[in-house]
């Protein structure tokens, strides 16, 4: 009974958009702006502007530690990451990520998914990326359980 409750609670937690975003799930679906089933690099970058607005939870024009839920920040530290967004996107090192820095930032997620390097994620590549994100999530869940 309590075990079921815990699993259900965990499932809800893991389905929250913020957590899903951190794992890269759903990012590409949302990036397919013209809904043709593929995501070009242009679409991916354009979708970031929208993505930024969601991450900037207090709408002050920056993504900084105030916008990162504490439990996510902790999880990143445990994984040996730096202070989250700052490391990857903070081009001028002021610990804040502006919209410009975010939109023009590295596209690691895209690069990793674009296995044939043609700057377009086709259906096969999108499916593979989704599987990889799911596997990463499962790994994390399994580790938590041990
Ligand atoms: Ca598209
Ligand atoms: Ca900055
Ligand atoms: Ca490709």
* pLDDT means over runs of 10, the chain (146 residues): 49 47 68 95 93 90 82 66 64 92 92 97 95 85 79
Per-residue pLDDT, 23: 52
Locus of tokens 């690069």? 111
Per-residue pLDDT, 14: 44
Total of domains in the chain:
1
Distance CA 130, CA 139 (A): 14
Ligand nearest to the CA of 29: 1
Nearest to 101 by CA among 56, 43, 62, 68: 62
Q: How far is the CA of 102 from the centre of ligand 2 (A)?
A: 9
- What range defines the domain where residue 99 resides? 2-145
Quote the pTM value.
0.65
């Amino acid at each position: 009974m309590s075990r079921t409750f815990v699993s259900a609670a965990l499932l809800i937690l893991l389905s929250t958009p913020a957590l899903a975003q951190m794992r890269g799930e759903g990012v590409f679906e949302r990036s397919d702006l013209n809904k043709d089933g593929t995501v070009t690099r242009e679409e991916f970058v354009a979708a970031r502007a929208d993505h930024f607005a969601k991450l900037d939870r207090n709408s002050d024009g920056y993504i900084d530690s105030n916008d990162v839920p504490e439990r996510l920040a902790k999880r990143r530290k445990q994984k040996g990451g730096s202070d989250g967004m700052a490391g990857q996107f903070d081009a001028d090192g002021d610990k804040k990520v502006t919209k410009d820095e975010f939109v023009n930032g590295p596209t690691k997620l895209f690069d990793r998914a674009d296995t044939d390097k043609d700057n377009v994620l086709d259906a096969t590549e999108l499916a593979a990326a989704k599987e990889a994100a799911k596997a990463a999530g499962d790994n994390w869940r399994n580790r938590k359980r041990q």
